[in-house]
Amino acid sequence: MKQILIFTDLDGTLIDYDTYDFKEAESVLNQLRSMSIPVIICSSKTRAEIEVYRQRMGLSNPFIVENGGAIFMPSYTFDLKDVDFVEKGPYRVVELGMPYTELCAIWKEIKNEKKFRMKGFSEMTIQEIAATTGLPVEEAALAAKREYSEPFIFSDTSAQLRLLASLFQEKGLKISKGGRFYHMIGESNKGRAVQILRKVYANMYPDKRIWTVGAGDSANDIPMLRHVDMPIVIRKKTGEWEHIQGIDSVVYSDKAGPRGWAEVIHTIL
């Protein structure tokens, strides 16, 4: 017997890159729920944003926020062993990233010193975030509720980007590239979070073999794809796929976004 876990990105994967809609994946999500197969969102989005999608999709499983910054697990479901966590509302939270206040302090220090042409969410109004992301203002406000990462637009040269990355590295930080933004994050990543959750589920189901699927479309999904049994790369709306190196047996969807996600997951089932 095996227990399947499905880890999935949101933007450009389970939800449409432009419309943020997931209707083309709804029937497969319903099928997974009926089969008691957890769908674990693993996204660059904030806790506040993901909570909205979990409600819309009828999901009650753990979720991974801000590119692996933290794992949120419903307290009533999970008995954690050998895992450090904090209590936050209805969740037991495994915090892997640097707190946002510390990130912002480093951001301001480096930006002011080197005069990089870049702008982070902490410097944008809610209206600016809405205009940049295409989100309604109410949802842009949720995107601004950062806890472990700083998304930013970089308008400088590639040489300056490399310099920025080296300066971040000196502070124990790194840059992760998503579909719309660069992200300033700590030493956390989606792959590390996946490894931890896999062990949590293994403890929950000692008589079953844990078998994992991971689906994503961007560079920041690669750490997740490296730590699942079946990595899936979802086609972008441009018709291209994210370039993946060093991972065996990658499955590439033929269609883009939630339609591609649904087709591949349905085939697996």
pLDDT in tens, 42-84: 999 999 999 999 999 999 999 999 999 999 999 877 778 788 9
Per-residue pLDDT at 76: 77
| Per-residue pLDDT, 75 | 84
Angle made by CA atoms 176, 83, 71, in degrees to the nearest 5 = 40
Backbone phi and psi for residue 268, each to the nearest 5 degrees, phi listed first = -60, -45
Q: Which two tokens stand for residue 109?
A: 């220090």
Res 184 pLDDT > 80: yes
DSSP string computed for 9-20? -TBTTTB-TTT-
Helix segments in 16-157, DSSP class H: 26-34, 47-57, 100-114, 126-133, 137-143
Q: Is the pLDDT of residue 179 over 90?
A: no
Catalytic residues: 9
Mean pLDDT of the chain: 95
DSSP 240-261: ------S-SS-EEEEEEHHHHH
Find residue 5's DSSP bridge partners.
212
Residue 125 has pLDDT above 80, yes or no: yes
What's the whole-number mean pLDDT along residues 204-216? Answer: 95
Q: Where are the domains of the chain?
A: 2-96+189-268, 100-185
Report how far apart, in Å, the C-alpha atoms of 129 and of each of 48, 120, 149, 180 are. 15, 10, 15, 12
| Percent residues over pLDDT 70 in the chain | 100
Segment 142-158 mean pLDDT: 96
> Residue 209 — very low, low, confident or very high, per pLDDT cuts 50/70/90?
very high
User: What is the structure's pLDDT at 79?
Assistant: 75
CA distances for 43 relative to 54, 163, 189, 203, angstroms? 12, 26, 10, 24
Residue 185: strand pairing partners: 149, 174
**pLDDT tier, 87 (very low <50, low <70, confident <90, very high otherwise):** very high
- What's the fold here for domain 100-185? Threonyl-tRNA Synthetase; Chain A, domain 2 (3.30.980)
Please check the confidence at residue 9 and state whether its pLDDT lies above 90: yes
Mean pLDDT of 112-118: 92
Question: What are the percentages of helix, strand and coil residues in the chain, rounded to 5?
Answer: 40, 25, 35
Please tell me the distance from the alpha carbon of residue 121 to that of residue 144, in angstroms, as a whole number. 7
Q: Which CATH architecture has domain 2-96+189-268?
A: 3-Layer(aba) Sandwich (3.40)
Domains 2-96+189-268 and 100-185 belong to one CATH topology: no
**105 against 244, higher pLDDT:** 105
pLDDT higher than threshold 80 for residue 191: yes
Cβ burial of 230 (10 Å; 0-12, 13-18, 19+) is: middle
Q: pLDDT-based confidence at 231, cuts 50/70/90?
A: very high
Spatial contact of 147 and 100, defined as CB atoms under 8 Å apart:
yes
**pLDDT score, position 150:** 96
Can you tell me the distance from the alpha carbon of 191 to that of 196, in angstroms, rounded to the nearest whole number?
9
- β-sheet with 63-65: strand ranges across: 63-65, 70-74, 91-95, 86-88
Instruction: Write down the pTM of the prediction.
Output: 0.94
